[in-house]
């Protein structure tokens, strides 16, 4: 897997540390891709990143902070017709298999309670939960009764209750309350109570 580097391009966007970047991708598009790049989950969460495209071209991704990329997203280069498709790169993961709906719900609850990004995969009797390698969490789920194994696969976790990554001002979601751990659709009721 290619390791990509975070960066902030200089004002002229000419490169990074003397290395010239051929393309700078800054905006989303739905047009057909002309190239692709495989990024691990942690890389897809970055808003500034130096990458090497499948064609071998050095490029930069420069997005608004908090704008996360998902498998299949497409970005267009500034002042160019080049369009890159983002691919979820295979990475080392832990897979927990629950053989009943109750065990699956318990395992998902315990991971969610720890705010762990999780990919949910259905099975006939329960489900699979994939998450980034963490042997403490793996042992916790083994203790609950899940079968635990390591795998290498593209990681596309659930985006969460608040959507994550694609919210922008003016998208029709202007009444969001953000207490510091993510936006809420409305102000929590506890903030409306007044002392007697």
Does residue 110 sit in the same domain as residue 83? no
Find the CATH number of the domain harbouring 62. 2.60.260.20
Residue 67 and residue 102 in one domain = no
- Any domain includes 45: yes
Q: What is the pLDDT along the chain (196 residues), one digit of tens a residue?
A: 555 555 554 444 444 455 567 899 999 999 999 999 999 999 999 989 999 999 999 999 999 988 889 999 999 998 778 999 999 999 999 999 999 999 999 999 999 999 999 999 999 999 999 999 999 999 999 999 999 999 999 999 998 655 544 444 333 333 344 444 544 444 444 444 444 4
Q: Is residue 117 part of a domain?
A: yes
- The answer to whether position 61 is within a domain reads yes
d(CA 187, CA 165): 20
Question: Is residue 19 located within the same domain as residue 84?
Answer: yes
pLDDT at site 44: 94
The answer to the question of residue 65 being in a domain is yes
CATH classification at residue 138: 3.30.70.790
Instruction: Kindly report the three-state secondary structure assignment for every residue of 121-166.
Output: EECCCCEEEEEECCHHHHHHHHHHCCEEEEEEEECCCCCCCCCCCC
In a domain? residue 43? yes
- Other beta carbons within 10 angstroms of residue 77's beta carbon come to 20
Residue 81 pairs in a beta bridge with none
SS3 118: coil
Does residue 95 share a domain with residue 84?
no
Closest CA to 70 of 142, 165, 5, 149: 165
Specify the number of domains making up the chain.
2
Residue 180 lies in a domain: no
Run of H or E including 42 = helix 41-44
Clarify whether residues 130 and 76 are in a common domain.
no
Outline where DSSP puts E strands in the chain. Answer: 15-16, 19-20, 23-28, 35-39, 48-52, 58-62, 74-77, 83-88, 90-98, 119-122, 127-132, 147-154
pTM above 0.85, yes or no: no
Burial of residue 140 (number of CB atoms within 10 Å: 0-12, 13-18, 19+): middle
Residue-number span of the structural domain to which 149 is assigned = 90-154
Measured distance CA(40)–CA(133) in Å, rounded: 13
């Amino acid at each position: 897997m290619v390791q990509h580097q975070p960066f902030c391009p200089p004002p002229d966007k000419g490169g990074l540390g003397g290395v010239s970047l051929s393309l700078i991708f800054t905006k989303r598009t739905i047009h057909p891709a002309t190239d692709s790049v495989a990024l691990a989950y942690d890389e897809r969460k970055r808003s500034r990143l130096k990458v090497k495209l499948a064609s071998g071209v050095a490029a930069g991704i420069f997005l608004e902070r908090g704008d996360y990329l998902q498998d299949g997203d497409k970005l267009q280069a500034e002042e160019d017709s080049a369009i890159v498709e983002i691919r979820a790169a295979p990475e080392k993961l832990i897979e927990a298999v629950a053989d009943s709906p109750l065990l699956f719900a318990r395992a998902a609850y315990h991971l969610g309670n720890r705010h762990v990004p999780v990919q949910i995969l259905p099975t006939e009797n329960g489900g699979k939960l994939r998450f980034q390698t963490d042997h403490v969490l793996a042992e916790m789920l083994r203790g609950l009764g899940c079968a635990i194994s390591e795998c290498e696969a593209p990681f596309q976790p659930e985006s969460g209750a608040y959507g994550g990554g694609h919210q922008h001002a003016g998208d029709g979601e202007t009444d969001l309350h953000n207490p510091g751990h993510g936006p809420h659709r409305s102000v929590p009721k506890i903030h409306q109570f007044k002392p007697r």
